Each structure stands twice: as structure tokens, then as C-alpha cells.
């Protein structure tokens, strides 16, 4: 007998045997399918009579939950068209024509091994094109092979096109890493460095124009092991750092809290060190679940206003005068209110403190004028006293307006909308992104001004990934939002679309450094190698591209008001002028 094709014109065949006990393998014969078979590649055979090419594979199968396979199956497929062509004529061209067609797992790399001398120049060219859609086994093979035949050229190529226009402004000590960095003037910034094996930690001030080092001060270890908080931030003329760890839960790191807050002057003087008593818990009561879904509630923030620091401490609101370094107030809040850390003071000196479920309004002497507390956990509240919940309920305790936003489906059923991320305040209202690919622009009276048939990345839902960056941004005249693996969209504040840019990758960061221009960072993983690869894009408010920079590192990433980007790569601190050349 020759093969199933010459004997019976069959083009496919399969059979299986049941496995018993701990058996997980069965040897099937080949020669009753293709007699006098010539093996040309692993799992690929040629019939010496009719020249048919057969792919013959065996594998275990059955219930995927069982430890051992229940059956062993053999399948034979006659290869035709490009699959046959690639086997008979294994050229680079034919290999690439295969695209994503399934072949035995080492077929592509076996062909490449055969071609590496004959098609050397084409293979080098192919690698350097870094095409994203090649089969991953080809990408991996090319990467290893190129490195082995030309290590120096490979290294230069890997650096090529990255960090365009970067200047080194500061050399960091060996074995150091930057925890965080932050600008506090147009040119001055601090880096939080952790150095050496023992992790000595300090703040170092630097000037990006001169590269000159200024003050330096030792720090305790940073807060880590919880949710991703900015552990170094600048607010109201002061620099703040977060340290230590208070375990909130053995199993849920988002409930872990920092232990200490330090506040520094911009001259590096330590003004205050305060033990923190912050709150964090999950929404679990069934009634509250009608309003919020699987949300972590916490008050991890502080307000610095007019040289005073306001922070939550247990059930109290504490305030410190940073100029005179003394406590001004330690106020226990009524009705189970817990201060959120957010506070605003109006021109008459009236103080609006946001609590975790409501508001308290004080006069300038801290006498309570009014207060309101929701039975549920709001996702967002603002000084107009509009209160938004996850399941698209909105209410206003002052005007008593209550609304619930719904999506009318084609079938006639109305489904309650739910939020993808926190509503973004606009000068005349809010941008509210929902699921089901729909967002609203609302005015302050909670009336729908415009519906937008798109939405942004989910950061609030039960399936949202932890620590996603804020996917919405409002600048002085623009609204921007991004949706991972789909697009970034730019609108006027009235909701007219200006630009959409598709994106097949996740967004790492969306921000403005000057309130006008729009900057975003995307993960730029191509499947070649394991190096970090990010793409930073800068748009002007019209959505025109000002600059695009490829980055190998986001360590110590910060951008000044004038668009100077600093970051650490290897042991250098680099600086790029994002506006250079325009
Ligand atoms: Zn045959």
C-alpha cells in the first residue's frame, strides 16, 4: 500500500484509542496511512509513490479537567496549496506566505535553520523590519539568531530609534533605582533614589537645565505592597512622601495602607512627619451593592491649601500650619462621617470637607453649617453637590434632583448604565463614560447635553484590572479619553470629535503637563525580545502630533511644565525636550 490518497483518494483521517489508568501516551503506526513514507519535517511525511504531503499528528484528548488524557488521537491531513508549497519549496517567501496557518510547532524554525546561510541577508532585513504580525516562533528565532551572528550590530540595532534627542544630565550611583520623581519648579525636580543592597533611600534635588545637584535628605523606605499610590507628590508648594505599610488584609493588597506621611519645603526641610490613620474597606453590604459593585473605598489623600495641610485621621479631620509647624485643629466628625482628605475653601472662608459618603460645610471658625451623608458609597462628588454612584444613579442633596441613566436596548428592555471610570468634571458639567459603548456629557443640572457613542477603559468594574491609569483627561479646551486595545479620542469640551487614533495596545499613561497639550504613553511590545518598549506621543490641542519618542524605560518618569521629560535609563538620568525641533 502506498498512501490514503493514492489508494482511496482520502484527504484526511483520524482515529483514537481510550487510555487506561495513568497512561497518557499511545504509539500509532504511520505506515498504514502512508506506506514507504519519507519524513521531510517533524510530523510531515511524503508519499514516495504519489508525492502527496501529509501532516500526521498525535495528541492526548478528553475532558480538560482530568489529570490524564482520556483518549489518544491521531489525525492525518493531506497538505494542499501554500501548506504543501511551503514543505516542498521551503523558501523564506513561502514560509511568510503561511501567515497564521497552523503547522507542526517546530516547522517554521526548522525551515529557518535550513535557510540561515542561503537567505542570510533577507533574514537580517526581515528582523530589522520588526514586523508585528509574524508568527511568534519566527520572531523568537530571528532575535536569537541575529544576536548570535552579529552581537555588536544587534546591540546597536536594539538601541536604535530609542530616546531620540536625549541628553544625559546626571549620573546615578551604581545599583540604584529611582522610586519616583517630581518637578516642583519649572526647572527643579527631586528624585527619590534607593541605593545599594541595603536600600538606602533619599531625596535628591536637581536642576534639569544645569544638571546641578541641590539638597539631599534621607528618607525611610517608601510605601509599597498596596495599591499604586503616588508616594512622592507636590501640592500647594510642598513636597510630600508616603512611607511604611499597614496591612489592611492578608489577601487583598488594595486594603493595605501607608503608615507615615512626610512633608518637606522645597528647600528640603522636613516640616512634618505624621503617623497615618487612614481607612480602607470593601463595599460588601447587599443594599450598597445596588449602587456600587466590588469597589474599594479609601481616603488616601491630603489637601494642602494656603500653607495648611488637611488630612484624615480615624474619625477626625486634622489640620496643620506648615509655616509654623503646629497642629491647628483636630476635629472629631459627627454622624459617623469620615474625612476623605479632599477639602475646598471658598472666598468667604467657608470650608467644604468631602467625607467618604457625603459633605460637611463649615464656617471659617470650623462651626458646622450643614452636612449630608449618603447611605451608599458615591464614586464621585463635587462642589455642586452632585453625587454619582457606580450604577448610574445621580443625586443632589441640595436640589433634590435624583436620576438614573439607562440604556434602551433594541429589544425594548432598559438596562441601568454603569460607569467605566470616574466622571470627569468639565467647565460646564461632566463627562460620564458608561459601559455599552456610550458616554454622556451632562450639565450641572444633570441634563444630557450630548451622547457620545464611545466609552473608555474600565477602571471601576468588578473585572477591571488593578491600578489602571485614569483613562480620561480634561485640558483647558479639550476632552480626551482612551480605551485599551481600541482607540484614543479627542473632543472639544462641547463633545465634537476632533481626532481618533486607533490603538492595538494598552495605554500606560494619559496626562497634560501644561494644561494644554496632550501626552500619552502606550506599551509598545512587538513580540521581539523582552526589553521594555514604550511609545510616548505628544499632541497639540488640535490633535496634531508634535512629537513621538520611543522609550526603553519609564523609571523616574516626570515631565516639566515646559515639556522637559526626565527618566532613568541604565545608570543615567536622561532629559528630552519634547518640543525640540518645532
Ligand atoms: Zn500516495
Written as one string, the DSSP assignment of 336-362 is T--EEEEEEE-TT--EEEEESSEEEEE
562: pLDDT strictly greater than 90? yes
For the stretch 307-318, pLDDT in tens is 999 999 999 999
pLDDT band at 582 (very low <50, low <70, confident <90, very high): low
Query: In angstroms, what is the span from residue 47 Cα to ligand 1's centroid?
Result: 5
Tell me how far the alpha carbon of residue 16 lies from the centroid of ligand 1, in angstroms: 23
Spacing, Cα 53 to ligand 1 middle (Å): 8
Whole-number Å distance, alpha carbon 52 to ligand 1 midpoint, is 5
State the pLDDT at residue 546. 95
CA of 249 to the centre of ligand 1 (A): 67
User: How many other C-beta atoms lie within 10 A of the C-beta of residue 523?
Assistant: 15
Whether residue 232 is predicted with pLDDT greater than 70 in this model: the reply is yes
User: How far are the Cα atoms of 68, 173, 181, 573, 575 from residue 568, in angstroms, in the given order?
Assistant: 49, 12, 10, 4, 9
Q: Is 218 exposed, middle or buried (0-12, 13-18, 19+ CB in 10 A)?
A: exposed
pLDDT of residue 290: 83
Least confident residue range of 179-183, 338-342, 441-445, 463-467: 463-467
Q: How many residues does the chain have?
A: 582
Ligand 1 mean position, distance from CA 12 (Å):
13
Output the CA 243–ligand 1 centroid distance in Å. Answer: 73
Ligand 1 midpoint to CA 45 (Å): 10
Centroid of ligand 1 to alpha carbon of 396 (angstroms): 80
Q: What's the 270 CA to ligand 1 centre distance in angstroms? A: 85
Q: State in Å: Cα 9 to ligand 1 middle.
A: 9
Cα of 84 to ligand 1 centre, how many Å?
14
The reported pLDDT for the residue numbered 551 is 94
- 0.85 exceeded by pTM: no
Q: What is the mean pLDDT of residues 495-500?
A: 96
C-alpha 87 to ligand 1 mean position (Å): 16
Q: Residues 247-262: pLDDT tens digits?
A: 988 888 889 999 999 9
**In contact, 260 and 274? CB cutoff 8 Å:** yes
pLDDT tens for residues 385-412?
999 999 989 999 999 999 999 888 778 8
User: What confidence score (pLDDT) does residue 197 get?
Assistant: 82
**Ligand 1 mean position to 102 CA, how many Å?**
23
Cα 3 to averaged position of ligand 1 atoms, centre (Å)? 4
The string of pLDDT tens digits covering residues 52-62 is 999 999 998 88
Mean residue pLDDT of the chain comes to: 93
Residue 28 CA to ligand 1 centre (angstroms) = 19
Measure 297 CA to ligand 1 centroid, in angstroms.
69
- The answer to whether the beta carbons of residues 164 and 581 sit under 8 Å apart is no
What is the distance between the alpha carbons of residues 285 and 389, in angstroms, rounded to a whole number? 15
Q: What's the average model confidence in pLDDT over 313-331?
A: 96
- Give per-residue pLDDT as tens, 259-311: 999 999 999 999 999 999 999 988 888 888 888 887 889 999 999 999 999 99
- Rounded to the nearest whole angstrom, what is the distance from the C-alpha of residue 37 to the centroid of ligand 1? 9
Asked if residue 21 has pLDDT above 80, the reply is no
Cell numbers that stand for 233 in this block: 507628590
For ligand 1, the distance from its centroid to the CA atom of residue 375, given in whole angstroms, is 77
- What separation in Å is there between the alpha carbon of 48 and the centre of ligand 1? 7
> What separation in Å is there between the alpha carbon of 46 and the centre of ligand 1?
8
Distance between Cα 55 and ligand 1 center (Å): 13
Distance 97 CA to ligand 1 centre (A): 25
Residue 529, pLDDT > 90, answer no
What is the sign, positive or negative, of the torsion defined by CA atoms of 270, 275, 277, 278?
A: positive
Ligand 1 center from residue 91 Cα (angstroms): 24
Cα 319-323-324 angle, rounded to 5 deg: 80
Q: Identify the CA nearest to 318 among candidates 286, 254, 272.
A: 272
Distance 7 CA to ligand 1 centre (A): 7
Note whether 558 and 511 are within 8 A (CB). Answer: no
CA of 8 to the centre of ligand 1 (A): 9
Query: What distance in angstroms lies between residue 44's CA and the mean position of ligand 1's atoms?
Result: 14
CA of 26 to the centre of ligand 1 (A): 25
What pLDDT, on a 0 to 100 scale, did the predictor assign at position 112? 96
Cα 75 to ligand 1 centre (Å):
17
Q: How far is the CA of 114 from the centre of ligand 1 (A)?
A: 26
pLDDT at 183 over 90: yes
pLDDT at 409: 79
Cα–Cα distance measured from residue 247 to residue 227, given in angstroms and rounded to the nearest whole number: 12
Is residue 581 scored above 70 in pLDDT? no
* Predicted pLDDT at 467: 76
In order of 288, 332, 372, 426, 580, the CA distances from 376 in angstroms are 5, 21, 12, 25, 50
* 33 Cα to the center of ligand 1, angstroms: 9
What spacing in Å lies between the alpha carbon of 108 and ligand 1's midpoint? Answer: 24
Q: How much is the average pLDDT of 234-254?
A: 93
Interval between CA 54 and ligand 1 midpoint (Å): 9
CA of 371 to the centre of ligand 1 (A): 87
Give the pLDDT score at 384. Answer: 94
Contact (CB, 8 A) for 534 and 503: no
Rounded to whole angstroms, how far apart are CA atoms 235 and 246? 24
- 66-79 mean pLDDT: 89
**Rounded distance from Cα 94 to ligand 1 centre (Å):** 23
What is the DSSP-derived secondary structure letter of residue 489?
E
Residue 25 Cα to ligand 1 middle (Å) = 28
Q: pLDDT tens, 124-175?
A: 999 999 888 899 899 999 999 999 999 999 989 888 888 889 999 999 998 9
What's the gap in Å between 39 CA and the centre of ligand 1? 13
Ligand 1 centre and the CA of 34: distance in Å? 7
Residue 531 banded pLDDT, cuts 50, 70, 90: confident
Q: How many CB atoms sit inside 10 A of residue 113's CB?
A: 12
Distance in Å, CA 15 to ligand 1 centroid: 19
Q: Rounded to the nearest whole angstrom, what is the distance from the C-alpha of residue 2 to the centroid of ligand 1? A: 5
Q: From the CA of 80, how far away is ligand 1's center (Å)?
A: 13
pLDDT for residue 64 is more than 80: no
- For residues 561-573, give the mean pLDDT: 96
Å from CA of 90 to ligand 1 middle? 21
Amino acid at each position: 500500500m502506498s498512501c490514503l490518497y493514492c489508494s482511496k483518494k482520502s484527504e484526511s483521517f483520524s482515529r483514537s484509542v481510550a487510555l487506561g489508568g495513568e497512561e497518557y501516551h499511545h504509539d500509532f503506526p504511520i505506515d498504514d496511512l502512508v506506506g514507504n513514507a519519507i519524513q521531510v519535517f517533524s510530523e510531515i511525511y511524503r508519499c514516495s509513490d504519489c508525492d502527496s504531503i501529509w501532516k500526521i499528528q498525535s495528541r492526548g484528548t478528553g475532558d480538560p479537567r482530568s489529570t490524564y488524557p482520556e483518549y489518544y488521537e491521531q489525525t492525518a491531513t493531506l497538505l494542499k496549496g501554500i501548506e504543501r508549497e511551503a514543505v516542498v519549496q521551503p523558501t523564506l517567501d513561502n514560509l511568510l506566505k503561511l501567515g497564521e496557518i497552523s503547522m507542526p510547532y517546530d516547522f517554521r524554525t526548522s525551515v529557518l535553520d535550513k535557510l540561515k546561510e542561503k537567505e542570510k541577508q533577507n533574514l537580517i532585513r526581515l528582523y530589522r523590519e520588526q514586523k508585528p504580525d509574524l508568527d511568534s516562533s519566527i520572531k523568537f528565532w530571528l532575535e536569537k539568531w541575529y544576536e548570535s551572528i552579529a552581537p555588536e550590530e544587534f546591540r546597536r540595532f536594539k538601541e536604535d530609534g530609542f530616546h531620540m534627542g536625549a541628553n544625559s544630565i546626571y549620573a546615578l550611583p551604581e545599583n540604584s533605582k529611582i522610586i519616583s520623581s517630581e518637578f516642583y519648579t519649572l526647572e527643579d525636580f527631586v528624585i527619590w533614589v534607593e541605593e545599594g543592597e541595603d536600600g538606602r533611600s533619599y531625596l535628591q534635588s536637581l536642576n534639569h537645565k544645569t544638571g546641578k545637584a541641590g539638597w539631599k535628605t534621607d528618607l525611610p523606605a517608601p510605601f509599597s505592597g498596596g495599591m499604586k499610590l503616588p508616594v512622592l507628590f507636590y501640592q500647594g508648594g510642598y513636597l510630600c512622601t508616603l512611607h511604611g505599610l499597614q496591612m489592611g488584609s492578608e489577601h487583598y493588597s488594595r486594603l493595605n495602607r501607608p503608615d507615615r506621611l512626610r512633608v518637606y519645603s522645597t528647600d528640603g526641610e522636613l516640616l512634618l512627619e505624621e503617623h497615618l490613620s487612614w481607612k480602607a474597606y470593601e463595599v460588601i453590604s447587599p443594599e450598597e451593592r445596588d449602587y456600587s459593585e466590588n469597589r474599594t473605598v479609601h481616603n488616601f489623600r491630603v489637601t494642602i491649601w494656603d500653607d495648611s495641610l488637611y488630612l484624615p485621621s480615624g474619625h477626625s479631620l486634622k489640620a496643620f500650619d506648615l509655616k509654623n509647624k503646629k497642629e491647628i485643629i483636630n476635629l472629631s466628625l459627627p454622624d459617623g462621617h469620615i474625612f476623605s482628605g479632599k477639602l475646598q475653601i471658598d472666598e468667604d472662608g467657608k470650608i467644604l470637607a468631602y467625607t467618604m459618603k457625603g459633605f460637611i460645610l463649615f464656617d471659617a471658625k470650623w462651626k458646622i453649617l450643614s452636612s449630608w451623608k449618603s447611605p451608599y458609597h458615591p464614586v464621585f462628588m463635587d462642589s455642586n453637590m452632585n453625587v454619582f454612584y457606580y450604577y448610574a444613579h445621580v443625586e443632589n442633596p441640595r436640589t433634590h434632583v435624583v436620576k438614573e441613566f439607562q440604556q434602551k436596548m433594541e429589544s425594548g428592555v432598559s438596562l441601568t448604565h454603569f460607569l467605566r471610570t470616574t466622571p470627569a468634571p468639565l467647565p460646564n458639567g461632566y463627562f460620564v463614560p458608561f459601559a455599552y459603548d456610550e458616554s454622556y456629557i451632562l450639565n450641572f443640572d444633570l441634563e444630557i447635553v450630548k451622547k457620545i457613542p464611545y466609552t473608555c477603559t474600565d477602571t471601576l468594574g468588578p473585572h477591571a484590572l488593578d491600578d489602571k491609569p485614569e483613562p480620561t483627561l480634561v485640558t483647558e479646551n479639550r476632552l480626551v479619553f482612551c480605551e485599551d486595545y481600541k482607540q484614543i479620542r479627542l473632543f472639544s469640551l462641547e463633545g465634537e470629535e476632533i481626532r481618533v487614533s486607533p490603538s492595538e495596545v494598552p495605554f500606560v499613561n494619559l496626562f497634560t503637563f501644561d494644561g494644554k497639550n496632550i501626552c500619552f504613553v502606550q506599551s509598545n511590545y512587538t513580540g521581539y525580545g523582552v526589553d521594555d518598549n514604550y511609545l510616548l506621543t505628544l499632541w497639540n490641542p488640535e490633535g496634531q502630533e508634535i512629537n513621538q519618542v520611543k522609550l526603553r524605560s519609564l523609571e523616574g518618569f516626570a515631565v516639566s511644565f515646559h515639556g522637559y521629560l526626565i527618566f532613568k535609563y541604565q545608570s543615567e538620568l536622561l532629559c528630552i525636550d519634547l518640543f525640540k525641533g518645532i
